[in-house]
């Protein structure tokens, strides 16, 4: 399952540099997560780093983008190979 950033985001800028896939970018009003690039840090870390650093806990699982650990691992491998979805 990809992650998402809620409108409670305060634009503190700490999550974006922590994302190893570059899936977090500044949106019109708040930061956003590209579900095609989010692997929940599978392949890099045991836990999603954006969640670890978020001071207000505004990064929940995205119910519209549900993926198994195997799918997240496959996405990580595609990203590493330079492929896009």
Contacts within 8 Å (CB) and 24+ apart, 54-59: 54/14, 54/15, 55/10, 55/12, 55/14, 56/8, 56/9, 56/10, 56/12, 58/5, 58/6, 58/7, 58/8, 58/9, 58/10, 59/3, 59/4, 59/5, 59/6, 59/15, 59/33
Domains by residue range for the chain, with CATH? 16-80 (3.30.70.20)
Interval 19-72: pLDDT, tens: 999 999 999 999 999 999 999 999 999 999 999 999 999 999 999 999 999 999
Say yes or no to pLDDT of 78 above 90.
yes
Say yes or no to pLDDT of 11 above 70.
yes
pLDDT for res 84? 63
pLDDT for res 1? 72
């Amino acid at each position: 399952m990809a992650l998402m950033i809620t409108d409670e985001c305060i634009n503190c800028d700490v999550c974006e540099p922590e994302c190893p896939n570059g899936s977090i970018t500044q949106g019109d009003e708040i930061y956003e997560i590209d579900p095609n690039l989010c692997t929940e840090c599978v392949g890099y870390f045991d836990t999603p780093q954006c969640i670890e650093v978020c001071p207000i806990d505004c990064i929940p699982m995205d119910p519209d983008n549900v993926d198994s650990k195997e799918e997240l691992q496959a996405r990580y491998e595609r990203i590493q190979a330079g492929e896009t979805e």
